[in-house]
Amino acid sequence: MDLNTNRKAPIVSQDGEDADSEEAVWVDPETIVWVGNNTNMLGYEFKNYTPIEEYKMKWNAFMLGARALYYSPNITTCFNQAVKIYQYDFELLMIKYMYGTGKENTLNTTLFLGNVSDTSYICIDAVENLYVYSMYKYDLFGRDDTNVILGAL
């Protein structure tokens, strides 16, 4: 079977089986479904990063198109740091819990909470910047709700 014309990939062959043989099972790459690994000692299922990366890419593009950096300069940093905590830092903490001692796990938890604290500071600052910009725009409309609604229309 020609790989380039059929766009199919072989599933990993069994012991002693040739992937190019007639017995090899071929599957369309779009039909491969990621199955989580739930075999660790904590019973924690690790995430598939592909949908998270797509989500992050789309929201960064949206914020760029909405000129979010103009309204709140650190809003993209807040978003990217929050996704990083969800995507990498929490899973890294789980891996450290699997192999660490009680003392090491206490230190790792403290380091993780330090990252959460730093991200919280950035996100609170981003919300404050957005609030200040919103109040500036509200002042430009004469602090009148009717003018703001008419401006939105």
Residue-wise pLDDT tens digits, 29-82: 555 555 555 556 667 777 788 888 898 999 989 888 888 888 888 899 999 999
Alpha-carbon dihedral 32, 34, 39, 40, rounded to 10 degrees: 150
What is the arithmetic mean of pLDDT over 76-92? 92
Domain count, the chain: 2
Give CA separation, 92 vs 9, 62, 107, in Å.
31, 29, 13
Residue 18 has pLDDT above 90, yes or no: no
Task: Tell me the sheet residues that pair with 27.
Answer: 9
> Could you tell me if 70 and 140 lie in one domain?
yes
> Could you tell me if 22 and 94 lie in one domain?
no
In a domain, 4, yes or no: yes
CB 41 within 8 A of CB 61: no
pLDDT per position as a tens digit, 92-121: 998 898 888 999 999 999 999 999 999 999
Q: What are phi and psi of 88, to 5 degrees?
A: -110, -50
> Could you tell me if 27 and 65 lie in one domain?
no
pTM of the model: 0.63
**Quick one: pLDDT band at residue 1, thresholds 50, 70, 90?**
very low
User: Which residues make Cβ contacts (< 8 Å) with residue 8, sequence separation at least 6?
Assistant: 1, 26, 27, 28, 29
CA distance 147 to 138: 9
User: Which residues make Cβ contacts (< 8 Å) with residue 16, sequence separation at least 6?
Assistant: none
Measured at the CA of 118, the angle between CA 115 and CA 121, to 5 degrees, comes to 150
> Could you tell me if 55 and 94 lie in one domain?
yes
CA distance 52 to 123: 19
In a domain, 10, yes or no: yes
In a domain, 11, yes or no: yes
CA distance 122 to 120: 5
Domain that holds residue 21: 1-32
> Could you tell me if 124 and 85 lie in one domain?
yes
3-state secondary structure of 27: strand
